[in-house]
Structure 1
Amino acid sequence: MTTEAKVGAFVLGCFAILAFTIIYLLNVQMSGGKVPYKTYLRYAGGLEPGAPVLFGGITVGKVKTVHPASADPTKIEISLDVKEGTPLNEKSIAKLGIVSVMSGAALSITTGSNEAKRLPPGSDIPSREEASLDEIAGKMATVADNADGLITQARGELQGITGDAHALLANLNTMTGKPNQEKIQAVLDNVNGLLATEGPKIDRLTDQLNTLTEHADATIQNVNGTVADTREPLRKDLAELQVTLQQAKALLGDMQVVIRANDYKIDDTVENLRVATDNLDQLTDSLKQRPWSLIRIKQPKEREVPHQ
């Protein structure tokens, strides 16, 4: 074997080893460290096996299978594998998405909440349906139908508004026509004539008002001086009045103390007055019944009636 042949065989062997290594690493990367999950949608939107799985916009895996669910054929079961360590949680939502405008469909998963519990491998990811192109087209058709009716209605209302605008313009033209202009000019002429005639009187009134204002200023100055002169005596009087009120308050307090200290004496005096009043009433009754008791101690004997 020549040297060239040996070199060629060595180069081919190196390429073969390099290709094997690359393929092995790719297989390890694609097969190792993957965690399976499932989700269910009613509309797959052209999602196919091998489509990327996005978590918060980051590619974390691929769609494995897409087929109707065996338990409920009205739902599409989507199996997917994501990288180990992807923080899927109970608040994560799976929905249809796209990587770019020119690319195909993808499965997009929201990040959910950091406080939510992590989903174990093999569990179902909650899903949310997105509006399909057919639904969007149907809504647009409905909007278009409604728009036709609105346009027709608006056209009729615009015609009415146009007629009202024409009537308004006609009224404005009538109001600003030559007859009204002549009347306005006559009013302005009268005002100018009035100003020219009454101008001297207005000037005299203005002078009188100025004089009155000066007198009013002088009066206000006099009032201010009077207030300033009487302010200090008023303050002194108020201070003395306040002292007098405090003394009266103290006197009332002392009187209350004296009255409270002599309550029992007052009660005794009242009781004695009551007893004296009762005795006086009894004495009065006794005098009414026996007026002679004021002169004699004993009652006189009754006089005998003489016998015939």
Structure 2
Amino acid sequence: MKPKERSAADMLRAMATIVLGLVVLGLFVVALGGFRFWERLTQYTILFDTVKDLNVGQPVKLDGMNIGRVVTISPYAPDPSQVQVTIGVRDNMPLYANCVASISQRGLVGDYYVLLTLQGQTGPVLPPESVIISKQTPGLAEIGALVGDLVATLKPRLERIATGLEQLFTPENIHQISTVLADLEILVNSAQATVRTLQTELDGVGAQAKDTLAHGTATLDQARDTFVMVQTDFTALSTELRAQVHEVGTRYADLASQVQTDLGYNQEQLTQVLDQVQRLSEELTVLTQDVKERPWQLLRAPRAFPEVRQ
């Protein structure tokens, strides 16, 4: 082969190698940048108050399974205080209405990623471009800051507790506590002896108490029988008394009816007598008036008035 042809072939191979290297390098850069044009992803939107150190291209996981990646991160136009995160999920992985999104971290110092969890019943399938509900989860740094604040708050109290314990457990207080414990042991032994004495006395009076209870039971039985007899006598007496009261009531009703009849009869006779007395009084009044006007009629009736002699 001629030198010119050999140099041309080497040049072509070198150029091909360079082009291939550039293509591989470009694909590697695109992959590292999170751009994968060969993937078919279904996009969803999530609104967060903060995305921490989340970057484009970070994975999206559903209960630990890698199902997609973060596509874009941008401020939310209607509310700039929120951040809009667009995620891409593979077409063969449906999402449901009960999905809740949060930002989690791999280990202690790992990268952040979007974690989707299912809560409760699955519900309907979310259509593309839907908004997924988000919840804020504190990261390790935030937890560390909270723990630091808590320790700083508790430190003065713990110091006061330690100081109080030191003052409490002084040699003098320890000696007094030992004395109190010794006295307490003596008191407990005395109480146990008292309990044993009471138990012995109770065992001694047990038989007598049983006899007393038996006698009391017999007395109560006798009183119950007497009460039953009294109740029976009272029931019979009350029945007889009700019968007598009923009989007296009947007789009183008859007597009242007879008195009412007699009163009605005597009243009629009294009315007739009063009518006669009234007529007699009227006649006496007329006669008295005539005597005042013509007294001679009582002495002798004139001949001119023969009707007076009638």
Q: TM-score, normalised by structure 2?
A: 0.48
Q: Specify the structure having the higher radius of gyration (Cα).
A: 2
